[in-house]
Structure 1
Amino acid sequence: MSAPIDFYFDFASPYSYIASSLIDEIAEKYGRAVIRHPLVVGTAFRVVGGVSLTGMPMRRDYVLRDIARLARYLKLPYRQPSHQSIPTHHAAQAFLWGQDRDPERAKDFSDRVFSAYFTEDRNISDMEVVLDLAESFGSPRLEAKAAITAPAMKERLKAETEVAISRGVFGVPFSIVGGEPFWGYSRLVLLEKWVGEGAF
């Protein structure tokens, strides 16, 4: 069986939003599975020495312009979020909890979170917003909240981040296919060629 595509993302990353909207199409075209790995990229930055967009004003201004332009080019809905540099651990933990229960629903949940943040301007760092989106898993709200905020789920997200860093993930979006890394939205074209035609 062909190696799956490991897809690492942060729910507040605009390029993760773009890549997430396209990765499944590539995988389906070439008979690959996509395994999603949510990260809180700020945690990885502290380890590998990266800098967030807000830490580099010139880059931030460019990215805001570039994302809007890229979304128009790809005909994807996009609205610049008013909530910036937000923590995404609640959403990431909700995804992991849902993934254990139903991977397909978890994929739909990730789409809903990205849409809420990048098209509806909802604050996905707010637990109540995350719970609204997590209702698709079909669990009572209080049960979902208890599961998402449980110490075990917090440790799970921490472990996911540590594994990602050990695999060389230093930013998002980041994809790995059979040990071959591809960083950023712009490398999806190379990833597609790699899975479609083989190593080069």
Structure 2
Amino acid sequence: MNRAPLRFFFDYVSPYSYLAWTQLPGLAERHGRPLELVPVLFAGVLNALGTTGPAEVRQKRFYIYKHTRRLAHDLGVPFVMPAAHPFNPLLALRVTAAVEDGEARQRLVSALYAAVWAGGGGLLEPERVGAVVASVGLDAQALLAASQTPAVKDQIRRNTQELLSLDGFGVPTVVVDGELFFGVDSLGHLERFLRGEDPLSREELERLRTLPVAASRLPLPSGEGGG
């Protein structure tokens, strides 16, 4: 019986996505689930929602750097801040999207994450992206060329739009069996869900989905509101 995959929506710019990735292959194997890797542009998600990323808020920026370093220590995985952050991850995302073979894409994702977050020299220059691609036995010249084609560029846009259509709002996000899990801290909840031990009933989920709003700082849509 084929089981639905864990669909991992990610962006290399996110340290939380890196930390989630260090755990996901093992988690998927424990539960007999394939992994589907879906590169998205986090900035595109933020633009669509009209929000800012945590590293774009001064107070949050310093905090998340400390927080992710501490999480990496707890998880026992390497963590080295890149030379600059945020950075433009688009080339790395497009190269990833250009790899169609699932196993090869997984190798590449691991290598690109290591380049950014495990002291591998970063991904600021196209030459560095090409070197990482070559390091996992893939044709760097061909993939760099493919990354500039309309089809691959559009794939990243479609992936990003798909995440938004699933009510996703950031990375890392894992979607499985119709349920969405956001953030590295949700991986324990994901495991319980896969074991059939989710504490949320269908009735409670529906109640939460339709919970009324009693106050809001946001303006009401035109035509809704008092006089």
TM, length-normalised to structure 2: 0.82
CA contact (8 A) 1:37 1:160 kept: yes
**2:195 aligned counterpart, secondary structure:** helix
The equivalent residue for 1:138 is 138
Q: Distance in 1 between matches of 2:89 and 2:83?
A: 15
Partner of 2:162: 163
C-alpha displacement at 1:121, in angstroms?
Answer: 5.3
Distance 2:179 2:109 in 1: 24
**Cα distance in 1, alignment partners of residues 6 and 143 from structure 2:** 28
- Give distance in 2, aligned partners of 1:175 and 1:47: 19
Aligned to 2:85: 84
Aligned partners of 2:189 and 2:198 also within 8 Å: no
Alpha-carbon separation, structure 1, partners of 2:39 and 2:7 = 11
Match of 1:58?
59
Q: CA deviation at 1:28?
A: 0.5
**Count of equivalent residues:** 197
Task: Work out whether residues 7 and 36 of structure 2, in 8 Å CA contact, stay in contact via their aligned partners in 1.
Answer: yes
Amino acid at match of 2:138: G
Structure with the higher helix share, 1 or 2? 1
Q: Residues of 2 paired with 1:103 and 1:137: CA distance?
A: 14
TM-score (norm 1): 0.93
Structure 1 residue 128, shift from structure 2 partner = 1.3
Cα distance in 2 for residues equivalent to 1:145 and 1:182: 32
**Alpha-carbon contact 1:6-1:177 (below 8 Å) kept:** yes
- The whole-number CA distance in structure 2 between the counterparts of 1:143 and 1:43 is 26
Q: Which runs of 5+ in 2 are unaligned?
A: 200-227
Q: Which structure has the larger Rg?
A: 2
Runs of 4+ aligned structure 1 residues displaced above 3 Å come to none
Partners in 2 of 1:115 and 1:138 — Cα distance? 16
The CA RMSD over aligned residues, in Å, is 1.4
Q: What's the offset of the Cα at 1:197? A: 2.5
